[in-house]
Amino acid sequence: MDSVAAVRPTESAEPARAVHGPLSLSALHPGDRGIVQAVGIPGRALTALERRLLELGFSHGEHIEVIAEARPGRDPFVVRLGATALALRRREAESVWISPRPPARP
């Protein structure tokens, strides 16, 4: 079982926006939004991938929204970080922690 499944099982019918506390970016679905809280695991050195995510703008306080995902398999998926759209594999997004926010209203 990976860390994402431990945070939010895929078989759960509960939407990501109903979860309280930090949530891995990789667990979100299209339309889900949040604010970046951290990259990596506290007390552990950042990996090269985590440093690259920080360089791309995944820093504390940035607003993020999942705007699309591939079918089948949901990988890769597209996120909007500020005014930038990025395609990521879910494995790459596992170490980005966010605070979920309600979806945008039409």
Boundaries of every domain in the chain: 18-101
Q: What is the pTM of this model?
A: 0.71
Q: How far apart are CA 37 and CA 15, in angstroms?
A: 19
> What are the tens digits of pLDDT across the range 57-83?
999 999 999 999 888 877 888 999 989
CATH-assigned architecture of domain 18-101: Roll (2.30)
> What are the tens digits of pLDDT across the range 22-55?
899 989 899 999 999 999 988 899 999 999 999 9
Backbone angles phi, psi at 16, to 5 degrees: -60, -30
Containing 99, the helix (H) or strand (E) segment is strand 96-101
Asked if pLDDT for residue 10 goes beyond 90, the answer is no
SS3 17: helix
Comparing 9 with 30, which gets the higher pLDDT? Answer: 30
